[in-house]
Amino acid sequence: MTQEHRPLAVGDVLHNFSCGVFGRDHYECVQIEETGPDWIRAVDRYGISVNASGYRQLTLLMRHRDENKCYGDANDPMREDETCPLSGPSGGIQLTENGPRYRPDED
């Protein structure tokens, strides 16, 4: 019996490597900005856009979203917590009418 997963939706966050769907060198958490019948477009905290399409990739991403958590920013050696870079007071992205905008750290 297979587990049913909720379809990917705008605002969903996919953490870390995302099963390699966005390429073997992409380790950033991304937030889905647009969806279509068989594709998604997501952006990371720097506003870099990545895409995925097709049944296999989207199924992998749905399972990944539901079963995995964020391990923090593994590329930042000064970061001591495991808070997702896309949430919390440490910056991230803000989606606006004009697209993604980098949200600076709060002082």
Query: 31-45 burial, b if ≥16 CB within 10 A, otherwise e?
Result: bbbebeeeebbbbbb
- What domain range is 48 assigned to? 13-92
Residue 101 confidence (pLDDT) above 70:
no
Q: For the chain, count helices (H), then strands (E).
A: 1, 6
102, part of any domain: no
2, part of any domain: no
43, part of any domain: yes
Which pLDDT value is given to residue 26? 81
47, part of any domain: yes
Which pLDDT value is given to residue 90? 39
100, part of any domain: no
Which pLDDT value is given to residue 23? 84
Q: Say what the pTM is.
A: 0.70
Number of domains comprising the chain: 1
- Tell which wins on pLDDT, 85 or 30: 30
